[in-house]
Homo-oligomer: A and B are copies of this chain.
Amino acid sequence: MKNYLDKNWKNSMRVKFDYNNMMQEFIGEEGFTKEEIDACMPLAKKSFDLLNSSRGTGMVGWTELPYNQDEVVKDINAYAEEVKGKFEYFVVLGIGGSALGPIAAFQALKHLHYNDLPKEKRGGPKFYVEDNIDPERMSALFDVIEPEKTLFNVVSKSGATSETMAQYLIIFDVLKKKLGKDLGEHIVCTTSKDSGNLIKIAKEENYKCFYIPDGVGGRFSELCPVGLLSLAILDIDICEILEGAKFMDEICQKADFTNPALMFAVTEYLAMQKGRNISVMMPYSDGLKFMSDWYAQLWAESLGKFNSSGVSVGQTPVKALGVTDQHSQVQLYVEGPSDKVVTFLNVERFRTTVEIPHGLEQFPDVSFLSGHTLNELIQTEQFSTAYALSTHGKMNNEIILPEINAFTLGEYLFMLELATGYAGGMLDVNTYNQPGVEAGKNATYAIFNKKGYEEKKKELLNAPKKKSDYIC
Protein backbone atom coordinates (compact mmCIF):
# COMPACT_ATOMS: atom_id res chain seq x y z
CA MET A 1 0.00 0.00 0.00
CA LYS A 2 1.16 3.49 -0.74
CA ASN A 3 2.16 5.43 2.40
CA TYR A 4 -0.22 8.21 1.59
CA LEU A 5 -3.22 5.98 1.86
CA ASP A 6 -2.38 5.25 5.48
CA LYS A 7 -4.01 7.53 8.01
CA ASN A 8 -1.24 7.34 10.60
CA TRP A 9 1.42 8.11 8.04
CA LYS A 10 -0.58 11.06 6.79
CA ASN A 11 -0.93 12.44 10.30
CA SER A 12 2.81 12.05 10.82
CA MET A 13 3.32 14.14 7.68
CA ARG A 14 1.08 17.00 8.71
CA VAL A 15 2.45 20.41 7.72
CA LYS A 16 2.06 22.96 10.50
CA PHE A 17 2.03 26.71 10.95
CA ASP A 18 3.62 28.19 14.07
CA TYR A 19 2.95 31.87 14.76
CA ASN A 20 4.21 32.15 18.34
CA ASN A 21 6.76 34.74 17.27
CA MET A 22 4.06 37.04 15.94
CA MET A 23 2.68 37.50 19.47
CA GLN A 24 3.48 40.07 22.16
CA GLU A 25 4.22 37.30 24.62
CA PHE A 26 7.24 36.36 22.52
CA ILE A 27 8.44 39.50 20.75
CA GLY A 28 7.21 42.31 22.96
CA GLU A 29 5.07 45.26 22.04
CA GLU A 30 5.64 44.96 18.30
CA GLY A 31 3.66 41.71 18.39
CA PHE A 32 -0.06 40.99 18.40
CA THR A 33 -2.20 40.47 21.45
CA LYS A 34 -4.55 37.52 21.54
CA GLU A 35 -7.38 40.08 21.50
CA GLU A 36 -6.19 41.54 18.20
CA ILE A 37 -6.24 38.10 16.65
CA ASP A 38 -9.67 37.35 18.10
CA ALA A 39 -11.01 40.66 16.80
CA CYS A 40 -9.90 39.74 13.29
CA MET A 41 -11.63 36.35 13.25
CA PRO A 42 -15.08 37.57 12.11
CA LEU A 43 -13.52 39.14 9.01
CA ALA A 44 -11.52 35.95 8.50
CA LYS A 45 -14.67 33.87 8.82
CA LYS A 46 -16.44 36.03 6.25
CA SER A 47 -13.61 35.50 3.80
CA PHE A 48 -13.50 31.78 4.61
CA ASP A 49 -17.22 31.49 3.89
CA LEU A 50 -16.89 33.44 0.67
CA LEU A 51 -14.14 31.18 -0.60
CA ASN A 52 -15.98 28.07 0.50
CA SER A 53 -19.16 29.09 -1.26
CA SER A 54 -17.21 29.88 -4.45
CA ARG A 55 -15.43 26.52 -4.63
CA GLY A 56 -15.41 25.11 -8.13
CA THR A 57 -17.03 28.19 -9.63
CA GLY A 58 -15.58 31.06 -11.67
CA MET A 59 -11.84 31.26 -11.13
CA VAL A 60 -12.02 29.15 -7.98
CA GLY A 61 -11.65 25.92 -9.90
CA TRP A 62 -8.30 25.19 -8.25
CA THR A 63 -9.95 24.08 -5.00
CA GLU A 64 -11.32 20.99 -6.74
CA LEU A 65 -8.09 19.83 -8.36
CA PRO A 66 -7.31 17.31 -5.60
CA TYR A 67 -10.70 15.69 -6.28
CA ASN A 68 -11.61 15.84 -9.95
CA GLN A 69 -8.57 14.62 -11.83
CA ASP A 70 -8.70 10.82 -11.78
CA GLU A 71 -8.95 10.59 -15.54
CA VAL A 72 -6.39 13.35 -16.08
CA VAL A 73 -3.89 11.61 -13.80
CA LYS A 74 -4.35 8.34 -15.65
CA ASP A 75 -3.80 10.04 -18.96
CA ILE A 76 -0.72 11.91 -17.72
CA ASN A 77 0.81 8.81 -16.18
CA ALA A 78 0.23 6.78 -19.33
CA TYR A 79 1.79 9.48 -21.47
CA ALA A 80 4.72 9.90 -19.07
CA GLU A 81 5.34 6.16 -19.15
CA GLU A 82 5.41 6.30 -22.93
CA VAL A 83 7.83 9.21 -23.30
CA LYS A 84 10.11 8.77 -20.27
CA GLY A 85 12.64 6.46 -21.86
CA LYS A 86 12.22 7.92 -25.31
CA PHE A 87 13.81 11.34 -24.84
CA GLU A 88 17.17 12.48 -23.51
CA TYR A 89 15.96 16.00 -22.73
CA PHE A 90 12.69 17.44 -21.48
CA VAL A 91 12.19 21.18 -21.87
CA VAL A 92 9.28 23.21 -20.53
CA LEU A 93 8.51 26.39 -22.44
CA GLY A 94 6.42 28.54 -20.15
CA ILE A 95 6.62 31.58 -17.92
CA GLY A 96 5.14 32.69 -14.59
CA GLY A 97 2.67 30.14 -13.26
CA SER A 98 3.58 27.74 -16.04
CA ALA A 99 7.16 27.58 -14.85
CA LEU A 100 7.39 28.36 -11.14
CA GLY A 101 5.54 25.28 -9.90
CA PRO A 102 7.49 22.82 -12.05
CA ILE A 103 10.80 24.48 -11.07
CA ALA A 104 9.94 24.40 -7.37
CA ALA A 105 8.77 20.80 -7.33
CA PHE A 106 11.73 19.62 -9.43
CA GLN A 107 14.16 21.24 -6.99
CA ALA A 108 12.36 19.75 -4.00
CA LEU A 109 11.82 16.21 -5.21
CA LYS A 110 14.72 15.39 -7.51
CA HIS A 111 18.46 15.27 -6.88
CA LEU A 112 19.90 18.75 -6.27
CA HIS A 113 22.35 18.26 -9.14
CA TYR A 114 19.99 16.17 -11.26
CA ASN A 115 21.22 17.30 -14.67
CA ASP A 116 24.84 16.68 -13.64
CA LEU A 117 24.21 13.06 -12.72
CA PRO A 118 25.22 10.34 -15.14
CA LYS A 119 22.24 9.03 -17.10
CA GLU A 120 21.91 5.78 -15.18
CA LYS A 121 21.70 7.58 -11.85
CA ARG A 122 19.35 10.20 -13.21
CA GLY A 123 16.87 7.66 -14.52
CA GLY A 124 15.08 10.20 -16.70
CA PRO A 125 15.65 12.95 -19.23
CA LYS A 126 17.67 16.07 -18.42
CA PHE A 127 15.26 18.83 -17.45
CA TYR A 128 15.17 22.51 -18.39
CA VAL A 129 12.51 25.13 -17.75
CA GLU A 130 12.86 28.06 -20.13
CA ASP A 131 11.01 30.86 -18.43
CA ASN A 132 12.73 33.80 -20.04
CA ILE A 133 13.42 35.14 -23.54
CA ASP A 134 16.98 36.31 -23.09
CA PRO A 135 18.56 35.49 -26.48
CA GLU A 136 21.76 34.36 -24.77
CA ARG A 137 19.81 31.83 -22.74
CA MET A 138 17.84 30.49 -25.71
CA SER A 139 21.04 30.09 -27.62
CA ALA A 140 22.78 28.46 -24.63
CA LEU A 141 19.98 25.90 -24.43
CA PHE A 142 20.70 24.68 -27.94
CA ASP A 143 24.33 24.12 -26.93
CA VAL A 144 23.31 21.54 -24.33
CA ILE A 145 20.32 19.75 -25.83
CA GLU A 146 19.88 17.78 -29.03
CA PRO A 147 16.47 18.86 -30.39
CA GLU A 148 15.93 15.52 -32.10
CA LYS A 149 16.18 13.82 -28.69
CA THR A 150 14.08 16.41 -26.88
CA LEU A 151 10.48 16.62 -25.75
CA PHE A 152 9.18 20.19 -25.52
CA ASN A 153 6.21 20.98 -23.31
CA VAL A 154 4.61 24.22 -24.49
CA VAL A 155 2.54 25.67 -21.65
CA SER A 156 0.18 28.60 -22.18
CA LYS A 157 -3.48 28.71 -21.29
CA SER A 158 -4.33 31.42 -23.80
CA GLY A 159 -1.81 30.45 -26.42
CA ALA A 160 -1.11 34.16 -26.67
CA THR A 161 1.71 34.50 -24.14
CA SER A 162 4.25 36.40 -26.25
CA GLU A 163 7.30 34.89 -24.59
CA THR A 164 6.16 31.28 -24.81
CA MET A 165 4.82 31.61 -28.34
CA ALA A 166 8.06 33.25 -29.50
CA GLN A 167 9.90 30.28 -28.04
CA TYR A 168 7.47 27.92 -29.75
CA LEU A 169 8.15 29.55 -33.13
CA ILE A 170 11.87 29.09 -32.56
CA ILE A 171 11.77 25.45 -31.53
CA PHE A 172 9.20 24.60 -34.21
CA ASP A 173 11.55 26.02 -36.81
CA VAL A 174 14.52 24.09 -35.43
CA LEU A 175 12.57 20.82 -35.20
CA LYS A 176 11.15 21.24 -38.70
CA LYS A 177 14.60 21.68 -40.18
CA LYS A 178 15.90 18.61 -38.32
CA LEU A 179 12.93 16.27 -38.48
CA GLY A 180 10.54 17.51 -41.17
CA LYS A 181 7.08 16.08 -40.72
CA ASP A 182 8.07 13.84 -37.82
CA LEU A 183 8.35 16.64 -35.32
CA GLY A 184 4.88 16.11 -33.87
CA GLU A 185 5.85 13.72 -31.12
CA HIS A 186 8.49 16.15 -29.86
CA ILE A 187 5.87 18.63 -28.73
CA VAL A 188 3.22 18.29 -26.06
CA CYS A 189 0.93 21.20 -25.24
CA THR A 190 -0.68 22.20 -21.96
CA THR A 191 -3.39 24.72 -22.73
CA SER A 192 -7.06 25.59 -22.66
CA LYS A 193 -9.33 22.94 -24.16
CA ASP A 194 -11.63 25.32 -25.95
CA SER A 195 -10.10 28.68 -26.60
CA GLY A 196 -6.91 30.36 -27.74
CA ASN A 197 -4.32 29.72 -30.40
CA LEU A 198 -2.37 26.89 -28.91
CA ILE A 199 -5.18 24.37 -28.97
CA LYS A 200 -5.83 25.24 -32.61
CA ILE A 201 -2.16 24.90 -33.49
CA ALA A 202 -2.01 21.61 -31.61
CA LYS A 203 -4.96 20.24 -33.54
CA GLU A 204 -3.49 21.30 -36.87
CA GLU A 205 -0.13 19.77 -36.05
CA ASN A 206 -1.52 16.78 -34.21
CA TYR A 207 0.29 17.40 -30.93
CA LYS A 208 -0.60 15.56 -27.76
CA CYS A 209 -2.46 17.94 -25.42
CA PHE A 210 -3.28 18.26 -21.76
CA TYR A 211 -5.82 20.78 -20.60
CA ILE A 212 -5.86 23.63 -18.12
CA PRO A 213 -9.35 23.92 -16.64
CA ASP A 214 -11.11 27.25 -17.28
CA GLY A 215 -11.35 28.03 -13.57
CA VAL A 216 -7.65 27.57 -12.86
CA GLY A 217 -5.40 30.61 -13.30
CA GLY A 218 -1.65 30.46 -13.86
CA ARG A 219 -0.55 30.97 -10.28
CA PHE A 220 -3.02 28.34 -9.02
CA SER A 221 -2.09 25.78 -11.66
CA GLU A 222 0.66 23.64 -10.13
CA LEU A 223 -1.81 20.89 -9.18
CA CYS A 224 -3.36 20.71 -12.67
CA PRO A 225 -1.55 19.33 -15.73
CA VAL A 226 0.68 22.44 -15.86
CA GLY A 227 2.63 21.02 -12.94
CA LEU A 228 1.61 17.39 -12.93
CA LEU A 229 2.88 16.57 -16.41
CA SER A 230 6.48 17.62 -15.65
CA LEU A 231 6.42 15.78 -12.36
CA ALA A 232 5.13 12.57 -13.89
CA ILE A 233 7.76 12.65 -16.62
CA LEU A 234 10.35 13.15 -13.88
CA ASP A 235 9.01 10.01 -12.22
CA ILE A 236 7.35 11.72 -9.27
CA ASP A 237 4.15 10.20 -7.90
CA ILE A 238 1.53 12.78 -8.81
CA CYS A 239 -1.18 10.99 -6.86
CA GLU A 240 0.87 11.60 -3.73
CA ILE A 241 1.07 15.34 -4.31
CA LEU A 242 -2.68 15.50 -4.87
CA GLU A 243 -3.30 13.42 -1.74
CA GLY A 244 -1.20 15.90 0.21
CA ALA A 245 -3.31 18.76 -1.11
CA LYS A 246 -6.48 16.89 -0.22
CA PHE A 247 -5.19 16.25 3.30
CA MET A 248 -4.48 19.96 3.78
CA ASP A 249 -7.93 20.78 2.45
CA GLU A 250 -9.40 18.49 5.11
CA ILE A 251 -7.34 20.19 7.80
CA CYS A 252 -8.66 23.58 6.67
CA GLN A 253 -12.36 22.88 7.00
CA LYS A 254 -13.07 25.31 9.81
CA ALA A 255 -12.85 29.08 10.15
CA ASP A 256 -10.97 28.90 13.44
CA PHE A 257 -7.58 28.51 15.09
CA THR A 258 -7.15 24.97 13.80
CA ASN A 259 -6.90 26.15 10.19
CA PRO A 260 -3.24 26.88 9.34
CA ALA A 261 -4.05 28.54 6.01
CA LEU A 262 -6.52 30.85 7.71
CA MET A 263 -4.13 31.71 10.54
CA PHE A 264 -1.40 32.47 8.01
CA ALA A 265 -3.82 34.83 6.24
CA VAL A 266 -4.99 36.41 9.50
CA THR A 267 -1.52 37.09 10.87
CA GLU A 268 -0.21 38.45 7.56
CA TYR A 269 -3.33 40.58 7.14
CA LEU A 270 -2.92 42.06 10.61
CA ALA A 271 0.78 42.57 9.97
CA MET A 272 -0.04 44.52 6.80
CA GLN A 273 -2.39 46.73 8.83
CA LYS A 274 0.57 47.42 11.12
CA GLY A 275 2.78 48.50 8.25
CA ARG A 276 4.53 45.24 7.48
CA ASN A 277 4.54 45.63 3.71
CA ILE A 278 7.15 42.91 3.18
CA SER A 279 6.72 39.14 3.45
CA VAL A 280 9.96 37.18 3.48
CA MET A 281 9.77 33.47 2.67
CA MET A 282 12.96 31.85 3.91
CA PRO A 283 13.30 28.09 3.51
CA TYR A 284 16.08 26.48 5.53
CA SER A 285 16.59 23.87 2.84
CA ASP A 286 18.06 24.00 -0.63
CA GLY A 287 15.38 21.61 -1.80
CA LEU A 288 12.67 24.11 -0.88
CA LYS A 289 14.55 27.09 -2.32
CA PHE A 290 12.18 27.72 -5.20
CA MET A 291 9.08 27.28 -3.10
CA SER A 292 9.75 30.97 -2.29
CA ASP A 293 9.63 31.92 -5.94
CA TRP A 294 6.36 30.06 -6.36
CA TYR A 295 4.95 31.78 -3.26
CA ALA A 296 6.24 35.18 -4.44
CA GLN A 297 4.10 35.02 -7.56
CA LEU A 298 1.06 33.66 -5.77
CA TRP A 299 1.12 36.27 -3.03
CA ALA A 300 2.21 39.29 -5.10
CA GLU A 301 0.01 38.84 -8.13
CA SER A 302 -3.08 37.77 -6.18
CA LEU A 303 -3.02 40.51 -3.54
CA GLY A 304 -1.00 43.41 -4.99
CA LYS A 305 -3.67 45.56 -6.58
CA PHE A 306 -6.48 48.04 -6.03
CA ASN A 307 -9.11 46.88 -3.58
CA SER A 308 -12.78 47.50 -4.24
CA SER A 309 -12.45 51.03 -2.83
CA GLY A 310 -9.62 51.81 -5.23
CA VAL A 311 -6.87 51.71 -2.59
CA SER A 312 -3.55 50.02 -3.43
CA VAL A 313 -2.96 47.04 -1.17
CA GLY A 314 -0.60 44.07 -1.13
CA GLN A 315 2.62 42.94 0.43
CA THR A 316 5.94 42.54 -1.37
CA PRO A 317 7.30 38.99 -1.17
CA VAL A 318 11.02 38.55 -0.68
CA LYS A 319 12.81 35.30 -1.45
CA ALA A 320 15.52 34.33 0.98
CA LEU A 321 17.38 31.11 1.76
CA GLY A 322 18.62 29.93 5.12
CA VAL A 323 21.36 29.75 6.24
CA THR A 324 22.88 31.46 3.18
CA ASP A 325 21.03 34.74 3.57
CA GLN A 326 21.96 35.03 7.23
CA HIS A 327 25.21 36.28 5.71
CA SER A 328 23.35 38.70 3.46
CA GLN A 329 19.93 39.82 4.74
CA VAL A 330 19.67 39.01 8.43
CA GLN A 331 21.59 42.11 9.59
CA LEU A 332 18.81 44.16 7.99
CA TYR A 333 16.04 41.90 9.27
CA VAL A 334 17.30 42.13 12.86
CA GLU A 335 18.32 45.78 13.14
CA GLY A 336 16.52 47.45 10.23
CA PRO A 337 12.98 48.85 10.20
CA SER A 338 10.09 46.74 11.56
CA ASP A 339 8.51 46.50 8.13
CA LYS A 340 8.42 42.78 7.44
CA VAL A 341 7.27 39.35 8.50
CA VAL A 342 9.84 36.58 8.08
CA THR A 343 8.34 33.15 7.38
CA PHE A 344 10.77 30.32 7.94
CA LEU A 345 10.12 27.18 5.97
CA ASN A 346 11.55 24.35 8.03
CA VAL A 347 12.19 20.68 7.52
CA GLU A 348 12.17 18.39 10.55
CA ARG A 349 13.96 15.43 8.98
CA PHE A 350 16.31 15.78 6.03
CA ARG A 351 16.67 12.89 3.60
CA THR A 352 20.27 12.38 4.59
CA THR A 353 22.60 13.04 7.51
CA VAL A 354 26.07 14.53 7.16
CA GLU A 355 28.42 14.43 10.11
CA ILE A 356 30.99 17.10 10.87
CA PRO A 357 34.21 15.20 11.52
CA HIS A 358 36.83 15.86 14.18
CA GLY A 359 40.30 16.97 13.22
CA LEU A 360 40.93 20.53 14.32
CA GLU A 361 40.94 20.11 18.08
CA GLN A 362 43.66 22.76 18.39
CA PHE A 363 41.18 25.42 17.16
CA PRO A 364 38.29 25.78 19.63
CA ASP A 365 36.61 28.31 17.29
CA VAL A 366 36.11 25.44 14.87
CA SER A 367 36.30 22.24 16.87
CA PHE A 368 33.08 22.95 18.78
CA LEU A 369 31.33 21.93 15.53
CA SER A 370 32.89 18.47 15.38
CA GLY A 371 30.73 15.55 16.41
CA HIS A 372 27.60 17.42 15.41
CA THR A 373 25.89 17.09 12.03
CA LEU A 374 25.10 19.59 9.30
CA ASN A 375 21.49 18.71 10.08
CA GLU A 376 21.85 19.99 13.62
CA LEU A 377 23.77 23.03 12.47
CA ILE A 378 21.23 24.21 9.90
CA GLN A 379 18.32 23.66 12.27
CA THR A 380 20.08 25.33 15.17
CA GLU A 381 20.92 28.33 13.00
CA GLN A 382 17.27 28.64 12.02
CA PHE A 383 16.25 28.56 15.65
CA SER A 384 18.91 31.10 16.52
CA THR A 385 17.88 33.44 13.72
CA ALA A 386 14.26 33.28 14.86
CA TYR A 387 15.45 33.95 18.39
CA ALA A 388 17.50 36.97 17.30
CA LEU A 389 14.55 38.38 15.36
CA SER A 390 12.18 37.80 18.27
CA THR A 391 14.42 39.40 20.87
CA HIS A 392 14.63 42.42 18.53
CA GLY A 393 10.84 42.59 18.34
CA LYS A 394 10.65 41.44 14.71
CA MET A 395 7.66 39.39 13.58
CA ASN A 396 8.46 35.89 12.35
CA ASN A 397 6.69 32.58 11.97
CA GLU A 398 7.30 29.07 10.70
CA ILE A 399 5.82 26.62 8.27
CA ILE A 400 7.08 23.19 9.27
CA LEU A 401 7.36 20.20 6.94
CA PRO A 402 8.09 16.90 8.72
CA GLU A 403 9.95 15.77 5.58
CA ILE A 404 10.26 16.88 1.99
CA ASN A 405 8.19 14.57 -0.16
CA ALA A 406 5.43 14.84 -2.73
CA PHE A 407 2.77 14.61 -0.02
CA THR A 408 4.09 17.44 2.17
CA LEU A 409 4.67 19.53 -0.95
CA GLY A 410 1.05 19.07 -1.89
CA GLU A 411 0.08 20.20 1.59
CA TYR A 412 2.33 23.27 1.41
CA LEU A 413 1.06 24.32 -2.02
CA PHE A 414 -2.58 23.92 -1.08
CA MET A 415 -2.15 25.61 2.28
CA LEU A 416 -0.69 28.72 0.68
CA GLU A 417 -3.26 28.73 -2.12
CA LEU A 418 -6.01 28.67 0.50
CA ALA A 419 -4.21 31.33 2.55
CA THR A 420 -4.00 33.53 -0.54
CA GLY A 421 -7.69 33.05 -1.24
CA TYR A 422 -8.56 33.97 2.35
CA ALA A 423 -6.21 36.98 2.39
CA GLY A 424 -7.66 38.22 -0.90
CA GLY A 425 -11.13 38.22 0.63
CA MET A 426 -9.92 40.01 3.74
CA LEU A 427 -8.15 42.65 1.66
CA ASP A 428 -11.22 42.97 -0.52
CA VAL A 429 -9.45 42.44 -3.82
CA ASN A 430 -10.16 40.25 -6.82
CA THR A 431 -7.61 37.54 -6.02
CA TYR A 432 -7.70 36.04 -9.50
CA ASN A 433 -7.11 38.87 -11.95
CA GLN A 434 -3.96 40.79 -12.96
CA PRO A 435 -5.09 43.98 -14.69
CA GLY A 436 -1.83 45.74 -13.83
CA VAL A 437 0.05 43.51 -16.22
CA GLU A 438 -1.93 44.74 -19.23
CA ALA A 439 -0.40 48.24 -19.39
CA GLY A 440 3.04 46.84 -20.11
CA LYS A 441 1.77 44.19 -22.52
CA ASN A 442 -0.14 46.78 -24.51
CA ALA A 443 2.92 48.99 -24.86
CA THR A 444 4.88 46.03 -26.22
CA TYR A 445 2.10 45.24 -28.69
CA ALA A 446 2.10 48.86 -29.86
CA ILE A 447 5.84 48.98 -30.38
CA PHE A 448 5.69 45.68 -32.28
CA ASN A 449 2.92 47.19 -34.47
CA LYS A 450 0.31 44.65 -33.49
CA LYS A 451 -3.04 45.44 -35.09
CA GLY A 452 -5.43 47.23 -32.79
CA TYR A 453 -2.76 49.08 -30.82
CA GLU A 454 -2.41 52.11 -33.10
CA GLU A 455 -3.73 54.51 -30.45
CA LYS A 456 -1.31 53.16 -27.87
CA LYS A 457 1.51 53.69 -30.34
CA LYS A 458 0.51 57.34 -30.74
CA GLU A 459 0.46 57.70 -26.98
CA LEU A 460 3.96 56.26 -26.73
CA LEU A 461 5.28 58.52 -29.48
CA ASN A 462 3.86 61.50 -27.62
CA ALA A 463 5.31 60.54 -24.25
CA PRO A 464 7.84 63.04 -22.88
CA LYS A 465 11.37 62.41 -24.11
CA LYS A 466 13.96 61.52 -21.48
CA LYS A 467 16.26 64.32 -20.34
CA SER A 468 19.99 63.76 -20.65
CA ASP A 469 20.36 65.77 -17.43
CA TYR A 470 18.99 62.79 -15.57
CA ILE A 471 21.41 60.30 -17.09
CA CYS A 472 24.98 60.03 -15.85
Most chain B CB within a 10 A radius of its CB, from A133, A143, A144, A449: A133
CB atoms of B169 and A335 under 8 A apart = no
Q: Check A305/B439 contact, CB under 8 A, given A19-B470, A132-B321, A318-B318.
A: no
Q: Check A339/B351 contact, CB under 8 A, given A18-B470, A96-B328.
A: no
Indicate which residue in B23, B278, B327 contacts A316 across the interface (CB closer than 8 Å): B278
CB atoms of A337 and B440 under 8 A apart = no
Query: Complex Cα distance A366/B312, Å?
Result: 33
CB atoms of A356 and B170 under 8 A apart = yes
Q: Mark A443-458, 1 if CB is under 8 A from B, else 0.
A: 1110111110000000
Does A5 touch B at the CB level, under 8 Å?
no
Indicate which residue in B300, B351, B355, B469 contacts A136 across the interface (CB closer than 8 Å): B351
A–B pairs, 17, beta carbons within 8 Å: A16-B471, A96-B324, A96-B327, A111-B140, A132-B378, A134-B284, A134-B374, A162-B377, A170-B357, A172-B357, A297-B329, A301-B332, A306-B335, A313-B336, A316-B340, A326-B440, A384-B447
Query: Complex Cα distance A102/B232, Å?
Result: 35
Does A20 touch B at the CB level, under 8 Å?
yes
CB neighbours of A115 from chain B (8 A) = 115-116
Does A181 touch B at the CB level, under 8 Å?
no
Query: Complex Cα distance A435/B384, Å?
Result: 15
Query: Complex Cα distance A287/B140, Å?
Result: 11
CB atoms of A334 and B437 under 8 A apart = yes
Q: Mark A410-453, 1 if CB is under 8 A from B, else 0.
A: 00000000000000000000000011110111111101111100
Query: Complex Cα distance A335/B375, Å?
Result: 42
Stretch at the interface among A47-55, A235-243, A459-467: A459-467
Number of interface residues of A (CB under 8 A): 154
Q: A356-401: which have CB < 8 Å to B?
A: 356-360, 363-366, 368-370, 372-378, 380-381, 383-385, 387-388, 391-392
Query: Complex Cα distance A296/B325, Å?
Result: 10
CB neighbours of A300 from chain B (8 A) = 328-329, 331-332, 336
Closest CB-CB distance, A345 to chain B, in whole Å? 12
CB atoms of A437 and B327 under 8 A apart = yes
CB neighbours of A384 from chain B (8 A) = 439-444, 447
Taking A25-B464, A136-B350, A383-B447 as given, write out 15 further A-B residue pairs in contact, using a Cβ cutoff of 8 Å, ordered by the A residue number. A16-B471, A20-B470, A22-B470, A26-B464, A121-B143, A133-B374, A133-B378, A134-B287, A136-B352, A300-B336, A304-B333, A314-B335, A314-B336, A316-B318, A384-B441
